[in-house]
Homo-oligomer: A and B are copies of this chain.
Amino acid sequence: MAQRIRLGMVGGGNDAFIGAVHRIAARLDDRYELVAGALSSTPERARASGEALGLPRVYDDFKSMAVREARLKEGIEAVAIVTPNHMHFAAAREFLKRGIHVICDKPLTSTMAEARKMAKAVEASAAKFFLTHNYTGYPMVRQAREMVAQGELGEIRVVQVEYPQDWLTRHEDFKQAEWRTDPARSGAGGSTGDIGTHAHHLACFVSGLRVESLAADLQSFVPGRALDDNAHVMLRFEGGARGMLWCSQVAPGNENALRLRIYGEAGGLEWAQEQPNHLWHKPYGAPKRLITRNGAGAGEAAARVSRVPPGHPEGYLEGFANLYTEAAEKIIAHRDGVDAAPEVTCPGIEDGLRGMEFVNACVRSSARNAAWVTLPD
């Protein structure tokens, strides 16, 4: 077993939901050891949070962490960036330029301009860059992607993707909600940036298709909200497939209801995040088939990112951990100067750019009364 990868973390202090998720995800398969952190932009909170976690090395800010860790003999090899969006680039840059691999939360940045700078920083760096579009870590999403790639659906015609939630139905005072509804920290997209990017990425990941143009109708239903909390988007994919994307933070009764349906001339696939161990395959003219994780009909693409037998549900944290473990495979291969196995799959900078272009296109289209806009602009 290869030595565990020494990991640092930027952001993810005491109350942050997503920081704890990243830490569990990194730990689950025992491929990382968290040894350093600058867990908050407020130095006192950064220190308190780092100590509460018992981190060996605690920093006041990401810059000093990057500088010092790069000099240590046993300094971090990778860093997880789990801050609000507007800080992703500034933090990532410091690590990338010092050859430290970056595992960054999505969306890539808060602005398109920063996204482009991030792409250049990644290009200029010897280090790897990973983006945690975690839903692609679910085994049955991998299974779906494999089936599409193998032509089981024939040519794709229709892609329906949706991601409704309800947690911003009212104007409430969550910490999580606060920065996500603030354009300065979140960027131009509200629901489109926070969850629409996941939906967009999932649709492209499974279908293997890029969105060529879209028409978006964005709304802020809650009075006083600066960013969209609901978006309806019509999609046109390369090759002629059409689709729809709906994301919402104001749809009561929807918790985290990401759902993808893809239809081709030979069959359909349906997957829902809240029941992630199931994949419906509906070949045209044959009985509907329910494929379960590690069950009959599930293939190697799913099995290699699964841990327990069929019927023992794996969930959100396991899917997230799969991205960390895939990143570890790539980091270890990089450490060894070899290529990772071709099946190792983790979203990266290209996915991040596509996501930012998606948000940008939604905002531009909506500002022009849902006119069609081309991607990338």
Interface residues of A (CB under 8 A from B): 1, 3, 17, 20-21, 23-24, 27-30, 52-54, 153, 157-158, 160, 162, 165-167, 169-170, 215, 217, 219, 221, 230, 232, 234, 236, 242-244, 246, 248, 250-257, 261, 263-268, 270, 273-277, 280-292, 295-297, 307-318, 369-370, 372
Give the chain B neighbours of A255 by CB distance below 8 A.
292, 295, 309-312
Closest CB in chain B relative to A34 CB, distance in Å: 9
Q: Given A250-B265, A370-B372, 4 more contacts at CB 8 Å?
A: A20-B307, A160-B246, A287-B292, A313-B313
CB distance from A173 to the nearest CB of B (A): 15
> Which residues of the partner chain B approach A243 to less than 8 Å between Cβ atoms?
232
Complex CA distance for A261 and B1, rounded to whole angstroms: 44
A52–B53 CA distance with the chains assembled, in angstroms: 28
A72 CB to nearest chain B CB (Å): 22
CB distance from A107 to the nearest CB of B (A): 18
Across the interface, do A370 and B251 meet the contact criterion of CB distance under 8 Å?
Answer: no
Q: Is the CB of B244 within 8 A of A232?
A: yes
B158 touches A230 (CB 8 A): yes
CA distance A29 to B54 in the complex (A): 13
Instruction: Please name the residue on chain B nearest to A270 by beta carbon.
Output: B253
B267 in contact with A252 (CB, 8 Å)? yes
In the complex formed, the residue of B with least CB distance to A243 is B232
> Are B372 and A230 in touch, CB under 8 angstroms?
no
Among B153, B219, B311, B372, contact of A242 (Cβ-Cβ < 8 Å): B219
Q: Smallest Cβ distance from A221 to chain B, in angstroms?
A: 5
Which residues on the B side are within 8 Å of A21 (C-beta)?
307-308
User: Contact between B274 and A313 (Cβ–Cβ < 8 Å)?
Assistant: yes
Provide the residues of chain B in CB contact with A307, threshold 8 Å.
Answer: 20-21, 24, 317
Say whether B1 contacts A54, CB under 8 Å.
yes
Q: Which of A1, A157, A255, A276 has the most CB of B within 10 A?
A: A255
Measured in the bound complex, the distance between the Cα atoms of B291 and A292 in whole Å is 17
Evaluate contact between A312 and B316: CB separation under 8 angstroms.
yes
The answer to whether B253 and A280 touch across the interface, beta carbons within 8 angstroms, is yes
Interchain residue pairs with CB less than 8 A apart (14): A1-B54, A24-B29, A24-B307, A27-B28, A217-B236, A232-B234, A244-B246, A253-B267, A253-B280, A274-B313, A286-B296, A287-B292, A314-B317, A370-B372
Give me the 3 closest cross-chain CB pairs, A-B, nearest first.
Answer: A253-B282, A255-B311, A256-B311
A1–B54 alpha-carbon span in the complex (Å): 6
Known: A28-B24, A292-B288, A311-B274. A242 touches B251 (CB 8 A): no
Q: What B residues does A285 contact at CB under 8 A?
A: 296
Q: Which B residues are CB-close (under 8 A) to A157?
A: 219, 221, 230, 250
Contacts of A263 in B (CB 8 A): 248, 250-253
Q: What residues of B have a CB within 8 angstroms of the CB of A24 in the complex?
A: 28-29, 307
Q: Are A287 and B284 neighbours in the complex by a CB distance under 8 Å? A: no
Chain B residues within 8 Å of A257, by CB: 311
Would A287 and B286 be within 8 Å (CB), given that A232-B242, A316-B313 are in contact?
no
Indicate if the CB atoms of B17 and A309 lie closer than 8 Å.
Answer: yes
Q: Which residue of B lies closest to A236 (CB)?
A: B217
Q: A234 CA to B369 CA in the complex, in Å?
A: 12
Task: Give A13 Cβ to nearest chain B Cβ, in Å.
Answer: 14
A27-B30, A316-B314 known; A234+B252 contact, CB < 8 A: no
CA distance A326 to B8 in the complex (A): 28
- Residue of A23, A266, A297, A315 with most chain B CB atoms under a 10 A cut-off: A315
